[in-house]
Structure 1
Amino acid sequence: MQDASLDVATRQQRAWPSMVEHKPLRFAATMILYFMQGVPLGLTFLVFPPWFAANGASALEVGAFIGFATLPWSLKPLAGLLMDRYAYRPMGRRRAWILIAQACMVAVLVALAIDGPDITEIALLATYCFILNVCGIVNDVAVDGMTIDLVPIEERGAINGCMYGSQIVGVSVIGFIGGQLVLSGGTTSVAILCAILVAVPSFIVGLFRERPGERLMPWTSGRPSAECEALQQDRWWPLLKEVVSSLATVRIVTFLIAFILLMITWVQTETVSPTLAVQRLGWSSDGYSSFASAVALAAGLFGIVSTGFLIKWFGIVRLALANGLILIVAALLAGSTFAAWDGDTLFVAVFVVQTVAITLVSILMIAWGMMQSNPAVAASQFAVIMAIPNFGRSAMAGASGPVIESHGYGATYFITAAVTAVGLAVFLFAARGGPQTADANEASAESR
């Protein structure tokens, strides 16, 4: 009788496929989860800053809002350590963390909808966005760790393009719709929309296991997989030792320095551009949100469609070099002509070029960093790889306001060009002898 009940349980578990067995499911699940990360980021970058600027907020206030709200993305190593150390193994190494993060994000959005702070409560909105980004980093770290656990190395270049592109699409969708709603219905309408966009996909993704035989939910039947048991760390000291040894190499350290510096273009497009467009060029807040969202959507879709075969054809380093040079030229062109701008044509052109190129550069850097990660401590190691550049991004966003007030908008383009040039040079140094394409098996061996 007991054997019969086990057979029934096994058949029930097999009724739904697992992600490790199905490539399309792996890609679909990670893309959906990354799309939902666009909710806190879209609110932080595309919905609220132009709304603030249109209502008289200074560049200093907008920069401080973005800098504070995005600080959680520098806390990813802490989340990674907790996930590598603790897991509800019957549900896999990461799924429980993902479901908890999504549930918390819905709860915070519901609280935001009920509270409904207005345009004058910038500090309160920054706090809500800070908490939403905490949920976002838990989701992000768990999904990254799950990807390294489940995705073969030859798929990682393609799946990185899909993941990051999906996040950009999520940001642009929230920015486009939220930018309209915040003007007509305030923060309550935006929060309700975002709660729905998180809750429905979360339910769908929750139906699929990491590996066969695991529990779908804590109260269902199932058991930990052998792979989960083998990879999971049971003590802090070996975990910390392995993480430190994985990161304390010249290649990784120089790569992180390069990644920080290359984030400067995101600061230009996300933090400087809203106040430049609204207060200097006379755009409306919803007009800027719609424009920036459309450009981000196009860049994200391009990343999803093209990254896999571009990496296969040209290699990560060549693509990074080409796009880095494009970013430098675009910023120099904008800076040298800014004083003579008589309209917004050049602003639009430079913004489009910068957004597409920095999206591709970010995908390439993430793919390169993921190839260096050890699956046993993937959440922690890759979280550090991503957190340090994000901290630099937040710090530079916070510093952008004083730069604008002291030296003007034109100077920000020259600074962006100079910092990008240094970052590109450092990355080329770090990448010597490293993985050039998505199927670099040498990288997998070196990371272990």
Structure 2
Amino acid sequence: MKPYLSDNPALRLSTLCILYAAQGIPDGFVRIALKTYLISEQVSTEAIGTVVAMVSWPWALKWIWGPFIDRFGYLPMGRRRPWILAAQFLMTLTLGAMAFIPELTTSVGIIAAMVLLVNVFASLQDVSVDALAVDMLPAKERGVANGFMFASSYGGTFIGGAILGHIILSYGFPSAVSVQITILLLIAAVPLCLRERPGDLLWPSKKARDHHSRSEEMEHPASLRALFQMLFRAFSLRSTILGASLAVLSLIAINSHLIIWPVYLQRELGWTSSDWLFLEGQLAVWFGLGGSVLGGILASTFGTKRTVIFSLVALSTCWLAYPMTEAYWSNSTVVTILFLVESTLAAFLQVSMFALFMGICWRPIAATQFTAFMALLNVSNGLGARFSGTMEWAFNISELHIFLAILQIVLVAIVLAINPKEVSEKLEDPHAPKDSSETPDEVMLSKTAS
């Protein structure tokens, strides 16, 4: 029996989780492993921030991919699978080129450029996988699946940060890149051997014109113009505008702290690179994984707005706990507990926001609109990394944490003003079946092949 994602819930969830893990590996490698190595080599905070920021900028622009993935493709092989395979191939090819960078500490500009290119293709894969999830997951599976998928990205971060971090510190950068390429190639075998729906081809074929698959029956926008018109309309509502503002501002504090804090610990408090790598690359990853699963469950139980607000208040309290315990920072246990709480709440916040953003997406263009929200979250990631050096200069370490607490808590006002039902009330057809994929004529969908 051929494995079809559309007909097998367990296979569907496991495949999505594996693909999410693949996206976490390059991210963990740069944000944790490479960052830790550059800190140990006395590279400046500004230069490190520049390299880490290169991870986020392609993801900030990943909304550009959404319309093309929704509109175009090679349908005989599935709506999303060809895009996923192409992205994995290009990502692996770019990583291979990175192995030939001569001396990392004197080639920061080259490293930043290569990190940027790898993440262009990683962002393409991410949008393709998100679109696959929107296509494949029934409404009743999305809550649990969302939590486990994000948790899987933490598993990828563990591989990229802790395992590859150990390799880069012990055996060098080329060895770490080689291992990363091997892992990604093994993961690529999963979508290579699976089909989305009955009738899909495994490979491009000359017989595709005479071949029919269920993927060719799937609805997609008749034109890019129609898709963009709908996207503009969706983002003209008050709640979606506020949601976009929340996305841009929500992660600045977290990501600036992830650069400033390890620099301070290693250069002022005497932590070693291995100490920090163990905390951020191993312990924090598992606590973040737990926070993501818990956040998904609680968001479904108590509502997305309540969960996001709780996350913001809890994170603000965590930032204030840092300066309140400054006298005990010489105790590694205190620092470890603070950072693990921070990591858990950061994951909790992100999963809660994912659920909130899904609720204010217009169903006919859900993949493209959700990708836009995710792109804005990565703008927030990049801003945090980019301005870490400025914040380090502007505040002493205690003042910095107070500033982060204020930055986090003011976002509660934005969340309170969001109406999760506004999109469904103003844009969706009230007479359409709740779970129906049918849309009004104005949506201008076509069942013709791309």
Q: Same fold (TM over 0.5)?
A: yes
Tell me how far apart the structure 2 counterparts of residues 178 and 411 of structure 1 sit (CA, whole Å): 34
* Contact 2:328–2:334, Cα closer than 8 Å, also in 1: no
* Contact 2:296–2:351, Cα closer than 8 Å, also in 1: no
Q: Secondary structure at the match of 1:87?
A: coil
Question: Measured at CA, do residues 177 and 443 of structure 1 come closer, stay the same or move farther in structure 2, by a change above 3 Å?
Answer: farther
CA positional deviation for 1:103: 0.8
Question: Measured at CA, do residues 77 and 176 of structure 1 come closer, stay the same or move farther in structure 2, by a change above 3 Å?
Answer: same
Tell me how far apart the structure 2 counterparts of residues 319 and 442 of structure 1 sit (CA, whole Å): 28
Match of 1:180 among 143, 159, 166: 166
* Contact 2:76–2:215, Cα closer than 8 Å, also in 1: no
Tell me the equivalent position of 2:84: 98
Tell me how far apart the structure 2 counterparts of residues 397 and 53 of structure 1 sit (CA, whole Å): 15
CA positional deviation for 1:142: 0.5
Match of 1:416 among 404, 422, 431: 404
User: Identity percentage over the alignment?
Assistant: 26
Q: Secondary structure at the match of 2:73?
A: coil
Q: Secondary structure at the match of 1:206?
A: helix
Question: Measured at CA, do residues 332 and 425 of structure 1 come closer, stay the same or move farther in structure 2, by a change above 3 Å?
Answer: same
Match of 1:335 among 323, 326, 332: 323
CA positional deviation for 1:330: 0.8
Tell me how far apart the structure 1 counterparts of residues 293 and 323 of structure 2 sit (CA, whole Å): 32
Q: Secondary structure at the match of 1:430?
A: coil
Q: Is 1:319 paired with 2:307?
A: yes
* Contact 1:256–1:385, Cα closer than 8 Å, also in 2: yes
CA positional deviation for 1:303: 4.5
Tell me how far apart the structure 1 counterparts of residues 399 and 216 of structure 2 sit (CA, whole Å): 51
CA positional deviation for 1:444: 6.8
Work out the number of aligned pairs and report it: 429
Question: Measured at CA, do residues 442 and 169 of structure 1 come closer, stay the same or move farther in structure 2, by a change above 3 Å?
Answer: farther
Q: Is 1:267 paired with 2:240?
A: no
Match of 1:192 among 158, 164, 178: 178
Tell me how far apart the structure 1 counterparts of residues 206 and 289 of structure 2 sit (CA, whole Å): 37
Tell me the equivalent position of 1:351: 339
CA positional deviation for 1:208: 1.4
Matched ranges for 1:16-31 at <5 A: 16-31=2-17
The one-letter code matched in structure 2 to 1:353 is: V
Deviations 1:64-102 (A, max 9, x none): 221233211111111112212211111221110100011
User: Any unmatched runs of 5+ in structure 2?
Assistant: 424-431, 440-450
User: Any unmatched runs of 5+ in structure 1?
Assistant: 1-14, 436-440
Question: Measured at CA, do residues 225 and 219 of structure 1 come closer, stay the same or move farther in structure 2, by a change above 3 Å?
Answer: closer
Question: Measured at CA, do residues 419 and 168 of structure 1 come closer, stay the same or move farther in structure 2, by a change above 3 Å?
Answer: same
CA positional deviation for 1:44: 1.8
The one-letter code matched in structure 2 to 1:177 is: I
CA positional deviation for 1:34: 0.6
The one-letter code matched in structure 1 to 2:61 is: L
Q: Secondary structure at the match of 1:402?
A: helix
Match of 1:87 among 29, 54, 73: 73
* Contact 1:50–1:278, Cα closer than 8 Å, also in 2: no
Deviations 1:10-46 (A, max 9, x none): xxxxx32211111111111110111011122112210
Q: Secondary structure at the match of 2:5?
A: coil
Matched ranges for 1:239-388 at <5 A: 239-303=227-291, 305-338=293-326, 341-388=329-376
Matched ranges for 1:3-42 at <5 A: 15-42=1-28
Q: Is 1:131 paired with 2:117?
A: yes
